[in-house]
Structure formats: structure tokens, C-alpha cells
Amino acid sequence: MTSNLTSGDRNIYLIGSERHQITGCKLPSNRQVLSVLFYNLHEVKLSIRESANLVVRECLIFWEKQRIPTRATPHCVEKIMKMYNYWRNLQKSACRRSEKQEDNERNFISDLNNLFDIAHANALEIMKIEEDRKFLLSQREPGRRGCLMGIDMKLAKREERVLLRVIEQENRRAKTHHSSEIDDNFMDSSEESSGTEDISDQPGPSSNIAQSSLEENINAQIELRMGIVRGRKCFLTPKIMAVLDRFHISQRSAVFILEAVAESLGHNIDELAIN
């Protein structure tokens, strides 16, 4: 029997339907996190901790898109585990219709649509852009007021220009340092013999290696920065990531596999957020 990828048929106590992924234009809520957690448990057949890890990775996509610093992944996983265990205790006591049980259920339900907050403890101090700080504060309000913004292309371009300037400065410093070493060697050799050919314009093998290494570093950093701007269409589902994890596919191998599959299906891989 084929499972529904949009949602599960199960109605989870106090939570509602299962969901195969987190969607929407806000940071993930407690309800979304638990809905996907139960989908991973029942449909993908993962353990509770594996399911929590997968949900955290999905949540981080939303937080990273807004450049909001987050807590370490193990702490985020423990937060989900704590929320799940609290729900489990409520479920075990569901038949006891005491006043305390009903109050606990109401409080739990009232918090479901609020933010699953995994921000770094000092996130507001770390963040430099005022709009980003205001967005986080609004998402922390009941119901998560506000919406996710798209990629700030102007900011991305500005950061790219700053990165290029830093790399160019490092390049100039490296060349100056190398030229200074050549001058010193030339002066030493001049004392021993006259008529020596000027070698300052003929860098040796070590210079070529240093230059090649620097160019590779520049290209790698530019590709990294451009990759952040280019790939915006995310097609990875929790099920795909779970399969890759289950068979211990390395990140590098996974990228090659996903690119090959995407190309064979006629997709432009430059538009896809693969890595």
C-alpha cells in the first residue's frame, strides 16, 4: 500500500495529522515538528532519536535561510525528545479526566502553534541586522507573527564583494612576501658572484604551488558563496535523507547521486539546493 506523502491517515492525540515535511512561510512550530516526527516514526520506520535528528535538520533549513544563529544540533534533538516525552506522559494519562490532566492538555494544545525555538542563547546579540532581530522577536510571539523573507540578493552580493576584497588582499600579501624572499635570496647570491641574472620575475616551483593553492582557495570560496545564492529550490524530503542516512551514504557521494538523478529527470541542477 502506498502511503500519502502529503500527510498520514493517523490522527495523533492532541496534535492532529502526520506530515511528511515542514512547509509554510514561518519558522517551524511545535505542531509541525511533532507532526513530521510521527511521520518519520510510522511511515519511514525510524527510531525516535533518528526521527528527531531528521526533523532538526529540516528545521535548520528555515533558520539558516533567515541567518539566525541556532543551538547545536544535539541540544535541538534533546528539545524534541523532551517535548515528545511530555506528550507521551499526557497520552498515558488520557483516560484520567482529572482537572489537572485537562489543564495540562489545554496548555499543551495552546503551545502547539508557537515557535519551536532553537535560537542560540545570544542570537539577538550575534545578529547584526535589525530586521532579522525584529523577525525573530515577532516569531516568538503567540502564533508566530510575520513571514519568512526571500534571499536578500543585495546583501548576498555585498558579502560576496567583501569576500573577494579579503581574498585579493591575501593574494597581494602573499605575492609581496614571496617577492621579499626572492629579493633576500638575490642579495645573498649577489655577494658571492656578479652578473647573476635577475630572478625576481621568475618565481620557482614553490611560488607556483603557493599561487595555485591560493587560486584554488579563491575559487572554492567563490563557489561556496555563489552556491548559497544560486540553489534555492529544495527538493530533498525527509524520506530521501532517511534513506541516505540508513545506507550510510557520505555527503559527497549523496551530492553526486542526487545531481545525476536530477539531471536524468531533466532538472537544472544549478537551481536545486542539493548540498
| Nearest residue to 55 via CA among 34, 72, 71, 69 | 34
Q: Where are the domains of the chain?
A: 11-154, 221-273
Burial class from Cβ neighbours inside 10 Å (0-12, 13-18, 19+) for residue 166 reads exposed
This model's pTM is above 0.75? no
Q: What percent of the chain has pLDDT over 70?
A: 67
What cell was used for 125? 546579540
Band (192; pLDDT cuts 50, 70, 90): low
Band (23; pLDDT cuts 50, 70, 90): very high
Residue 38 to residues 18, 50, 74, 84, 236, Cα–Cα distance (Å)? 6, 11, 19, 10, 18
pLDDT for the residue numbered 199: 45
Measured over the CA atoms of residue 40, residue 44, residue 45 and residue 51, the dihedral's sign is negative
| Nearest residue to 118 via CA among 58, 66, 72, 50 | 72
Q: Cβ atoms within 10 A of the Cβ of 124, count?
A: 15
Band (226; pLDDT cuts 50, 70, 90): very low
Residue 168 to residues 36, 160, 171, 189, 203, Cα–Cα distance (Å)? 46, 12, 5, 31, 19
What cell was used for 71? 543551538
Band (212; pLDDT cuts 50, 70, 90): low
